[in-house]
Structure 1
Amino acid sequence: MARRAFLLTTALTAVLALTGCTQLVGGVARTERPDVTKVAGLDITTGESGPKPGVPDADLRVENGDGGEMDRLAINTLADVGAYWAEQLPARFDVPFEPVRRLVSYDSNGAGVEICRTNTKGVANAFYCSLDDSIAWDRGELLPMLDDSFGPMAVVTVLAHEMGHAIQYKLGDKGGITQATPSIVKEQQADCYAGNFFRWVAEGKAEHFRISTGPGLNQVLATMFFIRDGAGTSAEKQGAHGSAFDRVAAFQFGFAGDPRRCAAIDEAEIRSRITQQPFAREDVDRGQGKGNLPVDDPKALEALEESLREAHKQTGAVPPGFATSGGTCADARETSPASYCPATNSISIDLTELVRIGTPPKRGQRGGIGDFAAFAEIASRYALSIQKATGYSLEGPAAGLRTACLTGAWAGKTTAEQARLKLSSGDLDEAVAELLADKSLIAADVNGTVVPSGFARVEAFRDGFFDGAGRCTRKYSG
């Protein structure tokens, strides 16, 4: 995040006064209220995800394959994705599905293969080529890395995305894609088409794969985070795919909708919601990586105080006290790295743990996430104080989703030009990473119980970010 230079009138000591949230609107609209036990209408499940046991491998012709595990995984994926589109293209667009003409496997560490006017030696990638209607994948480095890091459904995610590009080519004008279409539109459409396919898998319709809507989808969204554009990349850059926040949004549109929703993604739609941006001039490296503030810097915490006060100035709630030391609480469990106690209307923080979360990892090393992830943990506990003041329950999944949504509403206010604590490139990706963490407080109730669906957590945060606090209480009333 970027901190604007203003005169500082107070310093953070043991107590930091944080003020209230945007006015919470009463009068729940029933048509907007979701079932917190579901994901886009499907039950939240925690079963196995990955290849179905005992199912014979698909029989597809593959060039240059080795018959190994990665090739079998790719072939079964493309067979299932092909079956999905053979059903959907005629039904949704009145277009027959023609299978991709060429499937090519290669090892980027071995001898190169000429495909799409490119030699694949050293190319750790998967791609669709419209020149010869082909899909190719690197079985030597890319697919094993995805499988080792996130599980087999990460491989399915990447190849379903590539088939999405094939669908764009086969749809032609009906898909709204031309040669002049910016790459960000094409890539977001392909992410959306991948979401369509995963909905079909989650409904139990795929022959070779299964996925749970809880941990399984969480792994898919984590894959989207991994394959995001780097912080500071402009959405207008040729070849831009999107930030994690934007890619996950496109995937979720597809999971919740049908392929026509994905085909509707165009330049105007992208401009209305895309958050990917280059770094601003004030986004310098203060020793934590570009765009990151030291979380324990009193000036940074003071700027956080001001941003919360400004974002939530319409509330009549009494602001909670804020301390750097914990204590006993009569009506809630302690949570790390920040806790809210309803009985005393106070927030306590563990600066050491917040610094760990707020310090990005160095190349090749494990570490935290970034400053926004740490600040959002604090903001989430503040969101609970607002819910208490306005009569909402602080326990259960509805409270967790309201918390995520209200935290998103605060984040949305940090995009304002005059904001002292201002959103930097990459900050929303930090939010996605923290939201997908097993113990993330951003979508947790007062006792730290996290909403089991990462899909639902991210969706709630996005609702608040784009639509504000009123949306949070209308939709997540419990």
Structure 2
Amino acid sequence: MARRAWVAATLVAALVSTGCTQVVSGAGRSERPDVTKVAGLDITTGESGAKPGVADADLQVEGGDGGEMDRLAINTLADVEEYWAEQLPARFNKEFQPVKRLVSYDSNGEGVEICRTNTAGVANAFYCSLDDSIAWDRGELLPMLDDAFGPMSVVTVLAHEMGHAIQYKLGEIGGINQATPSIIKEQQADCYAGNFFRWVAEGKSKHFRISTGPGLNQVLATMFFIRDAAGTSAEKQGAHGSAFDRVAAFQFGFAGDPTRCAQIDEAEIKARITQQKFDSQDQDKGLGKGNLKVDDQKSLDLLEESLQKAFNQSGATPPSLTDSASDCPDVSETSPASYCPATNSISIDLPDLVKIGTPPKRGQKGGIGDFAAFAEVASRYALSIQKATGYELEGPAAGLRTACLTGAWAGATNQNGVRLRLSSGDLDEAVAELLADKSLIAADVNGTVVPSGFARVEAFRDGFYQGSGLCTRKYSG
């Protein structure tokens, strides 16, 4: 049956974020990110996208128009097939057989029947095991992805769909059968996409290149917009995972090989998947389900209370929070929050915080959501903990400790007695904000951001799953 992953409506709906009221659970693992590396590769800042001067691939496609989107899709699939032609024999002792059908269609045009589905109005890309085919919408979905996030987002989508084809070809070898829950299949496919992107980053792709700095950061950030809608249960048929979960699966693939992806099973999913439904405690303040007004004094009081409880074992004197600017002689001012070591105080720029914390209305541009804004403030609070425990506040190690400690605060909202609690979608807001160019969540006291989004997410996830003790041990310098 078809694995439908990229419906355009999901992209639009994903722009409505959610906020802080409920809890997540799980256990995690993480190898230490090196601030100078991305899973062992040097951080690069060059161009990402199609390599110039390379001839287009020659694959047989049904229904194509020969346009830019079809060329992008064909070149992607040609390179992905080349990757799997190497990997299946090497990793699974199995010969790779190319997908039998490649189908291009325009969802805005006359519908065609593919995988028992009429494509009229279906802005999608999918793999169908019934006839071993991959199909994509060149009319709406691919141009929307390309316009919003660049060509490598299209590559991400199609590499994911090829991941489903690999599952079908591996079958029980890859731990997949007809009864396997969709969340496991989708997480494996994200992981297989990460495998392919590692190959691209190593310079082995004929048609594409990606920088391990901004280019890879953008691919990870794209996961926020192609996640399941907040409130979707991981147990729902067709569930793919939250952005937090999808980024994790992609990173497992990028850092490992395809056998790591094949190991994703029900036990792992139950241990680490954060995706959850809303419950009766989730609040709606007119900003979207679960979102609080970040400039409401009650919200700020709850935030401060949650931070004090998260770090009370450190013995550090809590910093004061103020919404007025103050001169600080030894560090640069940052926005939307700034920490001053000399006075052990955090000044908050409420208008800037509101911009981040107010989720956009459907189809409109805007901020992200309350958790994104609260995490920015939490990052400056994390600096006060580092100062009290004798750590440097400048440099990339401080940025990673900050990300880890902010993650620890997020995880601590799972404790009894905490009134500000995680809601469905909150960790996705963290991913979106964490990967922003000027995010403070992984920045030092002067606002200098760790260049590798890969390392930022790893550090945040370390803190979320394993707590603040790991942060100071693992990111000591």
Matching residue of 2:301: 302
- What is the CA–CA distance in structure 1 between the aligned matches of 2:48 and 2:244, rounded to whole Å? 23
Letter in 1 for 2:80: V
Partner of 1:278: 277
Superposed, which structure 2 residues align to 1:437-448 within 5 Å? 437-448=436-447
Q: What are the equivalent positions in structure 2 for 1:202-351 lying under 5 Å apart? A: 202-351=201-350
Task: State, as a whole percentage, how many aligned pairs show the same letter.
Answer: 83
Deviation at 1:397, TM superposition (A): 1.2
Aligned partners of 1:399, 1:227: CA distance in 2, in Å? Answer: 31
Aligned to 1:422, what secondary structure does the other structure show?
A: coil
Partner of 2:110: 111
Q: 1:32 to 1:233 in 2, by over 3 A?
A: closer
Contact in 2 for aligned 1:321/1:345 (Cα 8 Å): yes
Q: Which residue of 2 aligns with 1:361?
A: 360
Alpha-carbon distance in 1 for matches of 2:85, 2:385: 50
Give the letter for the 1:272 counterpart: A
Provide, for residues 113-167 of structure 1, a one-character-per-residue CA deviation record: whole Å limited to 9, x for no partner.
2111111111100000000000000000000000000000000000000000000
For residue 340 of structure 1, give the secondary structure of its aligned residue in structure 2: strand
- The aligned residue for residue 15 of structure 1 is none
Structure 2: distance between partners of 1:164 and 1:418: 43
Offset of residue 306 of structure 1: 1.5
1:91 paired with 2:90, answer: yes
Whether the 8 Å CA contact 1:33–1:474 is kept in 2: the answer is no
* Structure 1 gap segments, 5+ residues each: 5-30
Q: 1:174 matched to which residue of 2?
A: 173
Q: What TM-score do the two structures reach when normalised by structure 1? A: 0.93
SS at match of 1:103: strand
- 1:323, CA displacement in angstroms? 1.4
Aligned-residue offset at 1:466: 0.7
Counterparts of 1:115 and 1:35, CA distance in 2: 45
Could you tell me which residue of structure 2 aligns to residue 22 of structure 1? none
Alignment partner of 1:475 is 2:474: yes
- The Cα of 1:291 is off from its aligned counterpart by 0.3
1:136-151 superposed matches below 5 A: 136-151=135-150
Deviation at 1:454, TM superposition (A): 1.6
Contact in 2 for aligned 1:185/1:267 (Cα 8 Å): yes
Count of residues in Structure 1 that have an aligned counterpart in Structure 2: 452
How far, CA to CA, are the matches of 1:116 and 1:417 in structure 2?
48
Cα distance in 1 for residues equivalent to 2:415 and 2:125: 38
Tell me the distance in 2 between the aligned counterparts of 1:193 and 1:49. Answer: 20
Q: Report the residue type matching 1:107 in the other structure.
A: D
SS of the aligned residue for 2:314 comes to coil
Secondary structure in structure 2 of the residue aligned to 1:347: strand
**Could you say which residue in structure 2 is the equivalent of 1:8?**
none
Task: Please give the alpha-carbon distance, in whole angstroms, between the structure 1 residues aligned to 2:199 and 2:416.
Answer: 42
Deviation at 1:372, TM superposition (A): 0.4
Q: What amino acid maps onto 1:313 in structure 2?
A: N
Q: How many Å separate the matches in 1 of 2:255 and 2:319? A: 37
Q: Does 1:431 align with 2:430?
A: yes
Cα separation, 1, equivalents of 2:473 and 2:49: 36
Q: CA deviation at 1:227?
A: 0.7
Is there any run of 5+ residues in structure 2 with no aligned partner, and where? Answer: 1-18, 23-29
Residue of structure 1 in register with 2:376 after alignment: 377
Tell me how far 1:316 sits from its aligned partner.
1.6
**CA-to-partner distance for each residue in 1:414-445, whole Å, 9 max, x for gaps?**
12353211000010010011011111010111
> TM-score, normalised to structure 2's length?
0.93
Higher mean C-alpha deviation, range 181-190 or range 218-227:
218-227
Q: Specify the SS of the correspondent of 1:314.
A: helix
Counterparts of 1:203 and 1:417 in 2: how far apart (Å)?
46
Partner of 2:400: 401
3 and 69 in structure 1: CA distance in 2 versus 1, 3 angstrom threshold? closer
| 1:279-302 Cα deviation digits (max 9, x unpaired) | 110113111111001111121111
Aligned to 2:131: 132
